[in-house]
Structure 1
Amino acid sequence: MHLSSEEEENSLSLKRFESMLKTNKVLFFDSEEFEEIVLHYLDTGKTSLAKKALKLALEQHPKSTGLRLVQVEMLVYEDKLDQAEKLLNELYAIEPHNEEIYIQKANIYSKRDNHEKAVELLRIALQYTDDYADVYNLIGMEYLFMDNLELAKESFIKCLEEDIEDQTALYNVVYCFEFLDQNAEAIEYLKTYIERNPYSEIAWHQSGRLYYGLKDYENAITAFEYATYIDETFIGAFMEKGKALERLKRYEEAIESYNRTMELDEPTSYALLRIGKCYEKLGNKVLALKFFNRTVHEDPLLDKGWIAITDFYVRQKNFQKALFYVNKAIAIDNENRLYWKRYATISKTLNLYEEAEYGYRKAVEFGDYELDTWIFWVDLLQYLGEFDSAVQTLLQASEYFPEQFEVEYRLAGLHFMLHEIEKGIFHLCNGLRLSLENHTIIEELFPAVWERKDVQAYIAKQKKKKN
């Protein structure tokens, strides 16, 4: 990789400094070289080397404001905020128009969670700085800390007006638009940005993401394609393009896009899984299963891979194999309600009723409050003769579905089975009131209750009223 002349100089300075440490010879460096050396070590987390460099630097250049400001940065890094503030006040008395003093003061206030004061100081720094982009970026970050996304967005936009190549600011602008639920406005902003910087693959990629979020898949694909024209190795854009193509049912093209990601880098379990799903949609079961198996081979802990194989076998009506694979998924994520529901449904199909009842119970325990889940669970409890548990489960379900004939008819039948006639009549009347035509639930699930004369009388009475 080609280094700029500045990068080469910094690299040489670092080599000279590290050579000096090894030989114990004291070499001379100018103050700017020392600044770069200290900041390099700070950025790479080598604090002890940064301290050594700073000590030597201040011995050689005791009056250097730049080095004293680096000393402030190190004190802030170590959370020695009072010492840093004292040193800044001394520097302010010498150079009141130095923007870095205000930036470091703002940093201290930010660390103390006084973000309003930090913004105030950064606005003063704007009066003295040549690097407006950096200061606007810092102001934007302070507004983010304050959760003021509108003002943060404005600051990041100003940063990009000063430095159009600032990718971090670009990501932050899009983040603010998205957080404010302004996706359409974000797309319009990116259009103007792209007019100024048409070869920004990041801008095209972000546009694609936003179009995808708005379900405008055609424009999303176009944007992702531009991103890949600019950077032919942009794996993320190829991946996102594949997702958008899937949405448009262009499965062959989606497979091509996912394959491109694997040509550029090692295969990912996500790409393999998506290819498998595409082949399944195309009706190629052999290749679908091949890629699902490659998915779990690539990442045995990817529960979604095991679930894909489960669903594949369910569609093939091979429930024995489906049960084997859903157990694999549950072993990885045993608090996933969707997996437990699959386990229950498959177990029920295989006439494993106790296992199915357990599966539905776990699904509800982990947050599946869908009506059909409650109903399947209750019907299994009834089948297993656990009438009291079935009643308690239905009463729990009625808190979520207070006016559902499916719940009321089942409560009626169960109470009659438990010889709680008054309760049975109460719930039967509720069921008849909510949906007279569905009274056949009693006949289907509770034939002994259906044959009772009082039950037939109540049903006949309601039919007569309706006519």
Structure 2
Amino acid sequence: MHLDNEEEEYKLTLSRFESMLKTNKVLFFDSEEFENIILHYLDSGKLTLAKKALKLALEQHPNSTNLKLVEVELLVFQNKLEAADRLLDQIEEVDPSNDEVHIQRATVYSKKGNHQDAVTSLLKALTLTEDLADVHSLLGMEYLLLDEIELAKDSFINCLENDEEDQSALYNVIYCFDFLSEHNEAIDFLTSYIDKKPYSEIAWHQLGRQYYTLKNYTKAVWAFDYATLIDDQFLGAYLEKGKSLEKLKKYKEAIENYVITLELDDPTSYVLLRIGICYEVINNFPQAMEYYKRAVHEDPLLDKGWLALTDISIKEQQYEKALIYLHKAISIDEFNDRYWLRYAVLNKTLLNFKEAEKGYQKAAELGNNIIEHWIGWADTLYVLGQYDDAILKLLQAISFDSENADVLYRLAVLYITINEFEQGTKYLEQALHKDFDKKEIIKSFFPIHWENPFIQNTIKNFN
């Protein structure tokens, strides 16, 4: 009831002031009323009205220290830092023990980038103020700007010790723990905080995040459960719980939690994609396809969504459709080597060998040096009759792994194909020595060469 009366008085004060401006009548306001009026306009971004109110205020209360401090805020807001500094000097001469002088001076220092001086001013303010929580919070921010994360963490903890309700400080202290990779310490801190404030949904949510980071997904779900029990509208907790349940392979429960987030807020492409992935894992391809399509409808530039559609279409052997989706992903991120490799493999499946070769080449240009992919590239060039190029790719591949039997057998076949029997023999003998059983590669991939007397004789002589 008391707060309602204060709010009513505040509104009446604003109404009286604005009425005075319209009628040009000069009404009297006490200094606190003027202070509230000026700060209201400043917070609303109405600089002209704030300045007008300040001018009238100082005319009626020329010796008010609080109004002069509000003037400092106005000068800082306008980035008139030197003028703010001079005014603070004047105020400090009259009232040296005013904590707000040192807090405002810290703000000026911070704006100038002098964060160490800002810290010094705030430490001075700590010895004078009764509002310890706010000053510790400001100190924490300055320490963050100085990359003094440990000191920042201590300041935010001190802030919470003086004001357990300061949610910004709670987020900030956890940020510091995260930055320092002190996840177990964060869990200890949050557990202690929850002992004092068991109904803090934010603390439970942050506790779940720490357990998730440490891959303790069962405990993460437990913590997120409490967060959602305290606040059944806590979208972030449902989302994180869904992610944790995915890690525990509880895909149906994960879907349930993701769906709740869709009911609480507008759908996001990320959540729609996660639901699709869960449905795909449990082999419900129609539902997976539906959510993937919803994801790319929500965000047409979601390349991961188009890729998911590509992969599920491949699983359903709908290769032409898969290629359409893959083109979408590549058009969004043409510098992703993994997309070009899928492009190569998919086109090879569709017997589009020229396009497959293009995919392998693009992937290689983007730095892909996985030997299996270079082997696939060489196989494609072989089909295209580009034997010399295929040999070149295999020689490059063998530089990654000089004893890879798959490469050695292919080199043997290709050299024999172009009638370079000496080189063919060398690589065939190396391959047989490396892995005799893998000679079946020739029978599987190069059946027309399997009965070649030269190859058969080399294999027999090796025995």
Taking structure 2 as the reference length, what is the TM-score of the superposition?
Answer: 0.85
Bigger mean CA deviation after superposition, 286-295 or 234-243: 286-295
Q: Give me the whole-angstrom Cα distance separating, in 2, the residues matched to 1:208 and 1:339.
A: 34
Residues 346 and 87 of structure 1, relative CA distance in 2, 3 Å threshold: same
Residues 73 and 337 of structure 1, relative CA distance in 2, 3 Å threshold: farther
* Residues 183, 214 of structure 2: 8 Å contact kept: yes
Matched, 1:76 2:69: no
Deviation for aligned residue 1:45: 3.2
Q: What residue number does 1:298 align with?
A: 298
Counterpart residue identity of residue 61, structure 2: H
1:192-248 CA deviation, whole Å, 9 max, x = no partner? 010011111100011111111111111111111111111111111111111212222
1:311-341 CA deviation, whole Å, 9 max, x = no partner? 2111112111111112222233333333333
Deviation for aligned residue 1:106: 1.7
Aligned residues: 460
Bigger mean CA deviation after superposition, 43-52 or 218-227: 43-52
Task: Give the 3-state SS of the residue equivalent to 1:335 in structure 2.
Answer: coil
Q: Give me the whole-angstrom Cα distance separating, in 2, the residues matched to 1:258 and 1:250.
A: 12
Matched, 1:209 2:209: yes
Q: How does 1:44-59 map to 2 (within 5 A)?
A: 44-59=44-59
Matched, 1:343 2:343: yes
Matched, 1:174 2:165: no
Residues 317 and 8 of structure 1, relative CA distance in 2, 3 Å threshold: farther
Q: How does 1:358-437 map to 2 (within 5 A)?
A: 358-385=358-385, 401=400, 405=404, 409=408, 416=415, 428=427, 435=434, 437=436
Q: Give me the whole-angstrom Cα distance separating, in 2, the residues matched to 1:393 and 1:256.
A: 49
Q: What residue number does 2:289 align with?
A: 289
* Residues 276, 289 of structure 1: 8 Å contact kept: yes
Q: Give me the whole-angstrom Cα distance separating, in 1, the residues matched to 2:26 and 2:437.
A: 94
Q: How does 1:328-339 map to 2 (within 5 A)?
A: 328-339=328-339
Task: Give the 3-state SS of the residue equivalent to 1:128 in structure 2.
Answer: coil
Q: Give me the whole-angstrom Cα distance separating, in 2, the residues matched to 1:383 and 1:424.
A: 21
- Give me the CA root mean square deviation: 3.7
Counterpart residue identity of residue 404, structure 2: F
* Residues 337, 363 of structure 1: 8 Å contact kept: yes
Q: What residue number does 1:117 align with?
A: 117
Counterpart residue identity of residue 46, structure 1: K
* Residues 126, 135 of structure 1: 8 Å contact kept: yes
Bigger mean CA deviation after superposition, 296-305 or 226-235: 296-305
Q: Give me the whole-angstrom Cα distance separating, in 1, the residues matched to 2:356 and 2:389.
A: 15
* Residues 415, 423 of structure 2: 8 Å contact kept: yes
Q: How does 1:10-409 map to 2 (within 5 A)?
A: 10-385=10-385, 401=400, 405=404, 409=408
* Residues 242, 255 of structure 1: 8 Å contact kept: yes
Q: Give me the whole-angstrom Cα distance separating, in 2, the residues matched to 1:245 and 1:70.
A: 52
* Residues 408, 428 of structure 1: 8 Å contact kept: no
Residues 304 and 188 of structure 1, relative CA distance in 2, 3 Å threshold: same
Task: Give the 3-state SS of the residue equivalent to 2:127 in structure 1.
Answer: helix
Residues 442 and 279 of structure 1, relative CA distance in 2, 3 Å threshold: closer
Deviation for aligned residue 1:450: 12
Residues 175 and 65 of structure 1, relative CA distance in 2, 3 Å threshold: same
* Residues 409, 439 of structure 2: 8 Å contact kept: no
Structure 1 unmatched ranges of 5 or more: none
Deviation for aligned residue 1:164: 0.7
1:355-384 CA deviation, whole Å, 9 max, x = no partner? 222223333444544333344334434544
Bigger mean CA deviation after superposition, 288-297 or 97-106: 288-297
* Residues 416, 424 of structure 2: 8 Å contact kept: no
Task: Give the 3-state SS of the residue equivalent to 2:279 in structure 1.
Answer: helix
Deviation for aligned residue 1:53: 2.9
Deviation for aligned residue 1:426: 13
Q: Give me the whole-angstrom Cα distance separating, in 2, the residues matched to 1:53 and 1:406.
A: 85
Deviation for aligned residue 1:289: 2.2
Bigger mean CA deviation after superposition, 233-242 or 358-367: 358-367
